[in-house]
Amino acid sequence: MAERKRKKIALITTVWGWRNHANHMGERFLNGYPCDGKWHRPEMDIVGVYVDQSPVEGEDLSLRRAKKHGFTIYPSIAEAVCLGGSELAVDAVLLIAEHGEYPDNEKGQKLYPRYEFFTEITEVFRASGRSVPIFNDKHLSYSFDKAQKMVAAAEQLQFPLLAGSSLPVTFRLPPLELPLECEIEDALMIGVGGSDAMDYHALEAMQCMLERRRGGETGIAAVQLIDGDEVWRAGEDGRWSRRLLEGALARSDSRSGIALTDGRPQDLAHDGTLQELVENPSAYFIEYNDGTRATLLLLSGAVSDWTFAAQVGGEVFSTQFLLPPQPNVTYSACLMAKAEEMFASGVAPYPVQRTLLVCGMLERCLESRVGGHVRLATPELDVCYRAPETSQFCGALQ
Amino acid sequence: MAVGPPINRGIMAAQNKSTAKRPKIAALVTEYRRYSHGQNIVDRLLGGYGWESGWHHPQLDIVSLYVDQFPESDLSRERVERHPDLKMCSTIAEALTLGGDELAVDGVLLIAEHGDYPVNEKGQMLYPRYEFFQQTVEVFRNSGRSVPVFCDKHLSWNWDCAREMFDISRELNFPFMAGSSLPVSRRIPSVDLPWQAEVEEMLVIGVGNIDSYCIHSIEALQSLAERRRGGETGVVSVKGLRGDSVWRALDDGAWDPALFEACLCRSLNLKPADESNRHTYPEREDLPGLLDRDPVAYQIEYADGLRATMLLMPGLVKEMTVAARIKDRADPFSLLFYLGAGHEMQPNFFNPLCHHIEQMMLTRQPPYPIERTLLTTGLTAAGVESLWQDEKKLVTPHLDIQYQVDEASTFRRT
């Protein structure tokens, strides 16, 4: 039997240094990764690379990896995807534009050049008269407008586009999947970290659960982001559910407060210590077009993990999205398995509209904050799509 | 929801009966300090813990506490102040009789892990499980009745003591539950060995030292092995290996390399050979340098022909993973026993253990056979003994222990 032709991949990245996404994600295609009890080696090779910056601190790993793995680093994106020739010469593009030194905008967003990189890639597609799949790490862009243009370009040029966070595809404890077409009455996600880096992950994890509700995704009607003591007052006013807080926190394995001082498990939802532990909480309120409501609480100080709870048919269901630690950060292998799946099959395993909608959700939430924590109507976020029928996360029980 | 059914119907039924009597429990603990087993288990049963989608309040009362040692970091005195209904007792008998003449509790927790006890020449810490147990059953005998006993981890460091404890539990006919938290912890993926599978070979890779840690690996292994076709048939021999002998055995193909790879690939903490190139699979020549100390192996032959190997490779990984070769199945079955992701986390693997303890106290039905822990206690002692006797293969007619388990899984699935 003839040996199957190995696919060629171009990696387009902002910076390739120690512990950044090019390192954690991109290198899975160089070394393989643990998958379902095997060390899986993708039948594809990174052959052309573009790196925008050198790390401010530490080594530029791209040079060392190029030497070891035999790929070529090109001075431009076009050259990387053409492998130095005059037209598209790879079978897939891995676009990783997280980390690096880029300016911030007034909303606190780091202006990573995902859209700009993407546009340079699609210009080559247009000039070559053919397109190949693109995987875009994390959100499509800090800007919903730019993200829309990226999705439109993929539709126009008819290539599979997959994007997003690793949280939707990492392990869940327990492996909860809400049934398609269930009635979600209320939902709460709890996350940690700051805005426009970690909140994106939490919002996309929340969205991958919400999109399974009856009627599918209908888009978002309005958003609001509040900070500080207002978050606790909103809880007292019933704007987010204490029952769901209890449900989500029951899945947390974080250690804080008395758990640190004397080991006792603490009932954070009821023991009154949450407000002491969380110095600066935030709440992201999402109102969907079909009337469904969901809330993201960022509770740094009390928790260090990512949990979710939803009320479905009067009952609470909850889980933890597991982010395994250094050195392996195997959530990145979970995500790259999805990129590889698309590169091999030419079919995106879940819709890029999820990522598009979450880009818009986050940008509008940050605008709500900048505008004085106001409720913002979001008629432009009428992104409708259906969730995949098959569970897409690692360790899902099929 | 795709997370399996609730595993503790007995508890739910008991909770629904508002008139149900809350069992009174005596806790016998070697040491009660932050993160000791005593603290972890007793605090969860006193104050509750996260379970499924809520905070679970156990339907029992810890009424008495015997503590053997009081280091400076002791927390038991603080707990007695915090819980006015909890009585500190100076003897085990007092904890069981609540100062009266006869047994006055409905269950006993025997948690003899952690503390400062002598270590014998074989490297075993001589925790007083047997001694606590003897003092417990003395009260049972004097009172003419017995109540359920939970013994944390293995029954004893010593096989004869363990066998005697088992025999006494049968003689006095009380529900007896023991063992590690590993068999009931979460798993990634969240699956059990297929019921009645024809298992040809098994491998577990764990961490830590002999005795105190290998019991965890062995019991994790056994909680799967016992589900194989025909049930548990007992063990005929155990051989321990240490250091270079382990590497030679690996090179000689003493265990299936696919099982070894499966175990390493289930780990979330596989140490990279090159710190600057972390997302790589270690090469054979890298392995010895990645361990924190010499590796240990126990090669176990079961009576029905199943071969199993326990490897301790601390440093290479930080957790316990298992793999099994199942007849007519191309890829190994494998999973991770999830105890935490490695950073600062609550040891919530005690939650399912506490849930099973509560269930037994409420229903008087142990969730799994005590024979499992009798066998793993014997396996652990035999492995330690084999190492002590310069890796001599030991035939183990005393481990002719047969038992059957139900198809229902008891690990934390929901």
Task: Give all domains of chain B, ordered by start, each with its CATH number.
Answer: 9-183+348-368 (3.40.50.720), 186-342+378-399 (3.30.360)
Does A160 share its domain with A12?
A: yes
Q: Give B345's contacts in chain A (Cβ within 8 Å).
A: 253-255
Looking at chain B, the number of H-run helices and the number of E-run strands are 12, 16
| A36 contacts in chain B (CB < 8 Å) | 265, 331
Nearest CB to B48; choose among A28, A177, A267:
A267
Q: What is the pLDDT of residue B380?
A: 97
* Per-residue pLDDT, B343: 62
Percent of residues, chain A, with pLDDT higher than 90 = 94
Domain assignment present for A261: yes
Higher pLDDT, B13 or A148: A148
Q: Is residue A251 within 8 angstroms of chain B, CB to CB? A: yes
- pLDDT for B344 equals 76
Give the pLDDT of residue A309. Answer: 98
Residue B8, pLDDT above cutoff 90: no
> Nearest 10 degrees: CA dihedral of A18, A24, A25, A29?
90
> What average pLDDT does this structure show over A257-285?
95
What is the model's pLDDT at position A196? 77
Confidence at residue A272, expressed as pLDDT on a 0 to 100 scale = 93
Residue B232's DSSP bridge partners are: B403
CB atoms B341 and A270 under 8 Å = no
Q: Does any CB of chain B come closer than 8 Å to the CB of residue A272?
A: no
> pLDDT tens across A66-109, in order?
999 999 999 999 999 999 999 999 999 999 999 999 999 999 99
- Per residue in B127-166, pLDDT (tens digit) is 999 999 999 999 999 999 999 999 999 999 999 999 999 9
pLDDT mean across residues, chain A: 96
* B326-376 tens-digit pLDDT: 999 999 999 999 998 766 799 999 999 999 999 999 999 999 999 999 999
Q: Which domain holds residue A229?
A: 171-321+372-379
Which of A164, A195, A219 is a domain's end point?
A: A164
* Residue A392: predicted pLDDT: 97
Average pLDDT of chain B, as a whole number:
94
Residue A200 lies in a domain: yes
- In the prediction, which pLDDT does A398 show? 75
Distance CA B144, CA B113 (A): 29
Question: Does residue A19 carry a pLDDT above 50?
Answer: yes
Can you tell me the distance from the alpha carbon of A139 to that of A147, in angstroms, rounded to the nearest whole number?
A: 8
A61 touches chain B (CB under 8 A): yes
Q: Tens of pLDDT along A102-125? A: 999 999 999 999 999 999 999 999
Share of chain B above pLDDT 90, in %: 91
User: How far apart (Å, rounded) are the C-alpha atoms in residues A251 and A318?
Assistant: 7
Residues of A in Cβ contact (< 8 Å) with B203: none
Please state the domain count of chain A.
2
Number of residues that make up chain B: 414
- Lookup: tokens for A172: 């869940």
Candidates A18, A38, A260; nearest CB to B261: A38
pTM for the complete prediction? 0.96
Q: Which has more pLDDT, A131 or A397?
A: A131
What's the rounded mean pLDDT across residues A154-165? 98
Residues A268 and A220 in one domain: yes
- pLDDT higher at B225 or B208: B225
Distance (Å) from the C-alpha of residue B116 to the closest C-alpha of chain A? 20
Residues A312 and A263 in one domain: yes
Residues A247 and A180 in one domain: yes
**Interface test mutation site (partner A, options B263, B279, B322, max chain A beta carbons within 10 A):** B279
Last residue of a domain, one of A164, A184, A207: A164
Q: Which H/E stretch holds residue B373? A: helix B370-388
Q: A107 and A59 in one domain?
A: yes
Q: Is the bond leading into B23 cis (omega within 30 degrees of zero)?
A: no
CA nearest neighbour of A283 among A166, A153, A189: A189
Residue-wise pLDDT tens digits, A333-358: 999 999 999 999 999 999 999 999 99
Residue A45 forms part of a structural domain: yes
**pLDDT score, position B13:** 42
Query: Above 90 in pLDDT, residue B121?
Result: yes
Q: From A139, A74, A186, select the one nearest B53 (Cα to Cα).
A: A186
* pLDDT reported for residue A163: 98
* A171 touching B (Cβ < 8 Å): yes
What is the Cα–Cα distance from B38 to B51, expressed in whole angstroms? 20
Question: Both A137 and A203 in a single domain?
Answer: no
**Average pLDDT of the segment spanning A152-176:** 98
> What is the distance in angstroms between the CA of the first residue and the CA of the last residue of chain B?
10
Buried b (16+ CB within 10 A) or exposed e, B380-412: bbbbbbbbbeebeebebeebebebebeeebbbb
Nearby residues of A170 by Cβ (< 8 Å), 6 or more positions away: A321, A322, A323, A324, A330, A331, A334, A335, A393, A394
Of the pLDDT bands very low, low, confident and very high (cuts 50, 70, 90), residue B12 is very low
Subunit contact B55:A250, Cβ cutoff 8 A: yes
Q: Are A198 and A261 within one domain?
A: yes
Task: Indicate whether A349 belongs to any domain.
Answer: no
Q: CA of A57, closest CA in chain B: separation in Å?
A: 14
Cβ atoms of B255 and B201 within 8 Å: the answer is yes
Tens-digit pLDDT profile for residues B83-118: 999 999 999 999 999 999 999 999 999 999 999 999
Query: Is the pLDDT score of B311 beyond 70?
Result: yes
Task: Mark yes or no for CB contact B52/A61 under 8 Å.
Answer: no
Question: Does residue A309 belong to any structural domain of this protein?
Answer: yes
Q: What pLDDT, on the 0 to 100 scale, is given for residue A197? A: 83
Please report, for the domain that includes residue A45, its CATH number.
3.40.50.720
